[in-house]
């Protein structure tokens, strides 16, 4: 079985922690033939999606002492490029471009629509990725989320800060913790809010700060609507933003309620793989563009999340129908 990874340039991936590399390694371990291309190597001719692809073989790796893998240098070999018809060459494709969801990303999803329409299983479904904004979809479910305002108006944001005391401020189109600020009432509040909103021209998310984040932020790994594992991440001593995984997280009733509530929405939009960020039983974000964390978790805990995801989504014939594939 051939599986295509549409991803950022391989040489730019951090192979010791990148989730895409973990999924590639898991696919190879399951006997799948791994191919890769970048968004710029997709084209349409005669209504068919063509791709300039390379076969990829990953070298051996081993667990390290923390959330990083020990890898070879280089970590892969790539064969010569060839142009193929995507729909007749690949049974599955994984959309693994890192955010932001900019013009490059959106154009890629429109091209992959053709592959999905021709019967290729694209994970995640391109139309679903466009429909579900990962930072805003959580706030369509206010019963599950912290108190939040999404606005560009500095006056509205500043009023929210006054009412809630300490607030996390982040751009709607942000990613990887960039431009995420902790804001409190006081002389500096207005300047920060005006800067964050570009003087009222840029929407931001203002969210009540949850002190329980000190105990950890859970990343719930969800496959086809089911939680298949969870890991705990905490802020560092000198930064309120979330850091690398530190321990296995117990999945409780609140987590299962969040996942079951979201499951119909994810299914309706073809979101087979998602990463839910949860603090103190409340949903913060629904990662659907390029869900990550599996590779780090497998290195840290000795689990096989990447393998479980590949078996569930790409080679379901290998699963025992009497058992659920969960975190070991």
- Mean pLDDT calculated for residue range 171-199: 86
What is the model's pLDDT at position 318? 55
Assess contact for 76 and 59: CB atoms under 8 A.
yes
Residues 118 and 42 in one domain: yes
Residues 6+ apart with CB under 8 A from 316: none
Q: How far apart (Å, rounded) are the C-alpha atoms in residues 92 and 28?
A: 14
What is the model's pLDDT at position 136? 87
Mean pLDDT in the chain?
A: 92
Specify the CATH number for the domain of residue 182: 3.30.1490.20
What is the model's pLDDT at position 138? 82
What is the model's pLDDT at position 321? 45
pLDDT grade for 215, boundaries at 50, 70 and 90: confident
Q: Is residue 326 part of a domain?
A: no
For 190-204, what is each residue's pLDDT tens digit? 999 999 999 999 999
Interior angle at CA 178, CA 129 and CA 227, nearest 5? 45
Q: Is residue 134 part of a domain?
A: no
Q: How far apart (Å, rounded) are the C-alpha atoms in residues 11 and 81?
A: 16
Assess contact for 259 and 225: CB atoms under 8 A.
yes
Q: Reduce the DSSP state of residue 97 to 3 states and report it.
A: coil
CA-based end-to-end distance of the chain? 25
DSSP 187-200: TTHHHHHHHHTTTT
Q: Is residue 184 part of a domain?
A: yes
Specify the CATH number for the domain of residue 223: 3.30.470.20
What is the model's pLDDT at position 65? 87
Percent of the chain scoring above 70 in pLDDT: 93
Domain boundary among 209, 236, 261: 209
Count Cβ atoms below 10 Å from residue 87 Cβ, excluding itself: 19
Beta pairing, strands 239-248 & 226-236: antiparallel
- Mean pLDDT calculated for residue range 50-71: 96
What is the model's pLDDT at position 176? 63
Percent of the chain scoring above 90 in pLDDT: 81
Domain range enclosing 65: 2-125
Q: How far apart (Å, rounded) are the C-alpha atoms in residues 203 and 154?
A: 10
What is the model's pLDDT at position 323? 46
Q: Is residue 273 part of a domain?
A: yes
pTM for the model: 0.91
pLDDT: which is higher, 143 or 236: 143
Find, among 287, 283, 288, 285, the residue nearest to 142 by Cα: 283
Determine if the peptide bond prior to 100 is cis (ω within 30°). yes
């Amino acid at each position: 079985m051939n599986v295509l990874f549409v991803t950022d340039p391989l040489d730019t991936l951090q192979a010791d922690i990148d989730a895409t590399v973990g999924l590639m390694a898991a696919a190879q371990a399951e006997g799948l033939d791994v191919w890769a291309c970048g968004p710029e190597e997709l084209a349409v001719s005669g209504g068919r999606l063509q791709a300039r692809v390379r076969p990829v073989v990953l070298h051996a790796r081993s667990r390290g002492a923390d959330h990083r893998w020990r890898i070879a240098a280089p970590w892969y070999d790539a064969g010569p490029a060839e142009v193929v018809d995507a729909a007749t060459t690949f049974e599955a494709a994984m959309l693994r471009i890192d955010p932001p969801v900019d013009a490059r990303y959106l154009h890629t999803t429109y091209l992959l629509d053709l592959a999905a329409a021709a019967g290729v299983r694209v994970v995640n479904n391109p139309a679903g990725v466009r429909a579900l904004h990962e930072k805003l979809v959580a706030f369509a479910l206010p019963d599950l989320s912290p108190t939040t305002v999404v606005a560009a108006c500095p006056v509205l944001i500043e009023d929210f800060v006054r009412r809630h005391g300490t607030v996390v401020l982040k751009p709607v189109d942000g990613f990887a913790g960039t431009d995420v600020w902790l804001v409190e009432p006081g002389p500096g509040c207005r300047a920060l809010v005006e800067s964050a909103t570009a003087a009222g021209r840029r929407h931001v998310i203002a969210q009540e700060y949850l002190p329980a984040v000190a105990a950890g932020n859970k990343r719930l790994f969800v496959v086809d609507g089911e939680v298949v594992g969870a890991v705990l991440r905490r802020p560092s001593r000198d930064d309120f933003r979330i850091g690398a995984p530190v321990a296995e997280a117990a999945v409780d009733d609140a987590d299962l309620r969040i996942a079951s509530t979201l499951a119909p929405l994810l299914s309706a939009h073809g979101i087979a793989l998602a990463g839910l960020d949860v603090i103190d039983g409340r949903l913060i974000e629904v990662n659907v563009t390029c869900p990550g964390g599996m590779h780090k978790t497998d290195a840290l805990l000795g689990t096989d999340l990447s393998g479980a995801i590949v078996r569930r989504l790409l080679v379901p014939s290998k699963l025992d129908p009497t058992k659920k594939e969960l975190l070991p």
